[in-house]
Structure 1
Amino acid sequence: MIERKVPRTDDPGRGMSYAVKSKKTMFLLGVFLLISPVLFSQMAMAEEQPTDTLNIENGNISISEVGKATQTGNTYTFSNDRGLRLTGTSDQYGITVRYGVGTGNPVKLKLDNLQIDTSKNDLCAFSILENASVVIELMDGTDNRLTSADYYAGLQAQNLGGKAGEVRITGTGALTAIGGRGSAGIGGAQNITHWYGTGGNITIDSGTITAAGGEEGAGIGGGYKGDGGVIRISGGMVTARGGKYAAGIGGGHYGLAGSLDTTSENINAQGGDGADTIGNGADYTEKNAGETVIDVQQSTDVKVDTAPTARSAQTASSREEEARQDTTEPVMKAGAGSIILSFGLLLLLMGAELGLCKRMEKHCLEDERSQGQ
Structure 2
Amino acid sequence: MFSFIKKKLGFGSADHSTEPQEAAPVAPALQEPAPAAPNVPPALTPSATSSEPSIDKPAVERRNWLDRLRHGLRKTGSSIAQVFTGTQIDDALYEELEAALLMADAGVAATSFLLEDLKQRVKDSKATDPAQVKNLLADGITELLAPLEKALVVGEHTPTVIMVAGVNGAGKTTSIGKLTRHLSGAHQKVLLAAADTFRAAAREQLLVWADRNHVDIVSQEGGDPAAVTFDAVQAGKARGCDVVIADTAGRLATQLHLMDELRKVKRVIGKAMDGAPHEVLLVVDGNTGQNALAQVKAFDEAIGLTGLIVTKLDGTAKGGVLAAIALWSKEHQRGVPVYFIGVGEKLEDLQTFNAKEFAQALLA
TM-score (norm 1): 0.22
Greater relative CO, 1 or 2 (CA 8 Å, sep 6+): 2
Higher helix share: 2
Higher strand share: 1
Bigger Rg, structure 1 or 2: 1
